[in-house]
Each structure stands twice: as structure tokens, then as C-alpha cells.
Amino acid sequence: MDSNESITRNGNMDINRIIRELMQERDRLQRIINSLEEIQPAGPLQMSVARKRRGRKSMDHAAREEVSERMKRYWARRRAEREEQQPDEDLAATA
């Protein structure tokens, strides 16, 4: 639609013509939408199915026990190292 086409000789807009052209455009778009919906498979959108949810992996009971034992050994070593260093610090502080 050209802007010059929608203005009459006396400068007023031809509202009826604009409405008619818009309705034709609406009908054309509706036909396109309908044809695309026929092509689209029924059911949920394919995009949401394609994405997989990411997150933490779950551990079975044996794996959890293994991690637990490993961390207990780790913290026991850390405590032992800290206790070995503490007497040296206590002597330095009293001197």
C-alpha cells in the first residue's frame, strides 16, 4: 500500500480502502498460518523435546559410600597435619 494511494484528492485518508487492504492482508496471513500448521506435526513443540536437562549426575549407594570414605580419610589427614603444626606454633607463641 503506497501512502499516496490512501490519500484522496482533498487530503483525507480513504479509511474504507485502508481497512479493506488490511483485511486482505490478514486473510493472506491466516492462509499462510493454516498451511504451516498443517505441515507441523501434532503434539508438543519439537524444540522443547530436543533440549535435555543438565544438572548433577546422581550416584548410586556404592559410589556415595566410596566418596564418603575418601573424604573421611582426607579430613583425618588434614586434622593430623594441623595437630602436628599446632605444637610448633604454641611453642613459638610462648617464647
Q: Each residue of 6-53: pLDDT tens digit?
A: 556 655 678 988 999 999 999 999 999 999 988 877 665 555 555 666
Q: What pTM does this model have?
A: 0.34
Burial bucket for residue 21 (CB in 10 Å: 0-12, 13-18, 19+): middle
pLDDT above 70 for 72: yes
